[in-house]
Structure 1
Amino acid sequence: MPCPAGGAASKPGLAGSVMRKNPTNDDVLSTREAAEQLGVALRTVQLWVESGVLPAWKTAGGHRRISRIAVERLIGERRAALSGDTQPAPLAPGGEARLRVMVVEDEPELLRLFMMVIAGWDLPIDVTPASDGFEALLRMGQQCPDLLVTDLNMPGMDGFKMIQSLRGVGPAYDDMEIVVVTALSEADIAQRGGLPAQVRVFHKPVPFDELEALVRDRVAALASVA
C-alpha cells in the first residue's frame, strides 16, 4: 500500500527554514502550484518545505519557490500513492500474508533492540527501520507500512510533524495504524498540540509485551482476509 507522504532527496539540515536564493531560470513553482501538481493540500507542501522534504527558497518579496525538478522527482516517487492505488500485502514463501511494520526511533541502541525483539516474535513481519520522521516519510514512498511505531521526541522532523503531515493527505494512508512509544507524559503531549484520537500511545520503557499482542492481532486479522 503506497503512502502519500515523504519527499524528494534533500538534506535534513534544511528543516524548519527556507533559503534565500535568486533562481537562475523560470523553472520554479509556487507552493500552490507544487500542491496542484502533487495532488496534495497546500498545507502539506508547506509542511514538506518547513521540514526540508522539499527544498525551497524565498524570493526578494518573501514568497517561497520550489524547483520544478524536485517536484517532478517527488511525483515519480509517489506516483502510485497519488493515484490512490493499493498493493496487496506481500506473501511469505508458503503463501502467508506478511505484515509491514515501520519503526521510527532516533536512539540507535533502542532501534536495534526493537529490531531484535520483533525478530524474536517469529511472525510473518517485514520491518523497516527509520531514525527520524524525515527518513520515515522517504521510506514510506517506497512502501507504506500497515503499522507505524514511532517515537515523538526526535531531532529533525519529530513524530508530531510526521504524523501531522500524514493527516488528511489521502485515503491510501487511512488503513495504516499508528502507535506512539514515547517518554513524554500525557501532559507533555497535550502541551505540544496532542495527537489524533486514533493514535495509540505507549510510554517508555517500551512495553514489548503489549506491542507484541497488538502486532499478533494485526497479523491474525491480515491472515483472515488473505
Structure 2
Amino acid sequence: MHKSDSDSDLAYNAAEFCSTKDAARLLGVSHRTVQLWVENGALQAWKTAGGHRRITVASVHKLVNERRGISAGAAAAPAAPAVKKLLLVDDDHTLLRLYELEIAGWNLPVTVVKAQDGFEALIRIGEQRPDILVSDLSMPGMDGFRMIRTLRADASSVNMAVIVVSGLDRTTIDSIGLPDDIPVFPKPVPFNQLRAAVEQALSGPADTI
C-alpha cells in the first residue's frame, strides 16, 4: 500500500525522505546507480502513488558514512614496502653477528642472509637471489674479488647492488681491481655510511633475471 502524494510531501519536508536525484547528489553517483542500490536493498525506499521513489535520508547517510570509511581505510593503510634480501659475506663470525644486530636496528625492509666466503656466497645467491650484497674481500677459499667478478660475468646477477667492506688498503684494492660503481668502506665498519649505501641500494632498481 503506497502513501499518498500529500503524505510524501509532508515526509520530504520533514527531511526524512529524499528524491533519487537528491540521493545521487549526496552520494556522488549517477541516478541509475541509486536506482540499482534501491533495487538491491542498499538504500531503503518506497514509491508514491504517482510512482516516484522516496528514499529514507537515514539510509543515504548510512551509505555515505560506509563509503567514507572505505576510502579512509584505504588511505590509512598504504602498501607495505617489499622486503628484500641482503647477503652478508665475511669469514669473521663475530663481525657477521655484529652486522646482523646492527642491521636489525635500522628498521629497513630487509632480511639478512649470511655466508663465510665467496664460494658459499655464490651458493646462497643461487638459492635465494639477494637484492644487495655486502662483502669482505680478503677471505679463504674464494675471495671477494673473484666472487664479484663471477657475479658481474653472470647476466642474471649483473645488476645486483654490491657494497664492499674491507680491511685491505685502497692501493691494494685498486691494484687488483673492482668495478667503479661498487662503494668500498674500510674496517672497522662505518655503520652510518654503510646504512646510507644500503638505503640507496634499496631505492635503486631491483636485480633483473
Unaligned segments of structure 2, at least 5 residues = 1-78
Higher relative contact order (CA 8 A, sep 6+): 1
Which position in structure 2 is the counterpart of 1:122?
107
| Number of equivalent positions | 128
Would the aligned equivalents of 1:99 and 1:222 in 2 still touch at CA under 8 Å?
A: no
User: Which whole-Å deviations, capped at 9, do the CAs of 1:137-170 have from their partners, x for residues lacking one?
Assistant: 0011112211110000001111011111112221
Q: Which residue of 82, 96, 102 corresponds with 2:87?
A: 102
Would the aligned equivalents of 2:166 and 2:186 in 1 still touch at CA under 8 Å?
A: yes
Would the aligned equivalents of 2:161 and 2:201 in 1 still touch at CA under 8 Å?
A: no
The question of 1:179 aligning with 2:163 is answered yes
Q: How does 1:86-97 map to 2 (within 5 A)?
A: 95-97=80-82
Q: Which residue of 184, 192, 204 corresponds with 1:201?
A: 184
Q: Percent identical across equivalent pairs?
A: 47
Which position in structure 2 is the counterpart of 1:165?
150
SS in 1 for 2:162: strand
SS in 1 for 2:178: coil
Would the aligned equivalents of 1:137 and 1:162 in 2 still touch at CA under 8 Å?
A: yes
Larger relative helix fraction? 2
Instruction: Show structure 1 runs of 4+ deviating over 3 A.
Output: 218-223
Q: Which has the higher Rg, Structure 1 or Structure 2?
A: 2
Q: Which residue of 199, 202, 205 corresponds with 1:216?
A: 199
Give the C-alpha shift of residue 215 in structure 1: 1.9
The question of 1:144 aligning with 2:116 is answered no
TM-score, normalised relative to structure 2: 0.57
Which position in structure 1 is the counterpart of 2:21?
none
Superposition RMSD on alpha carbons, in Å?
1.8
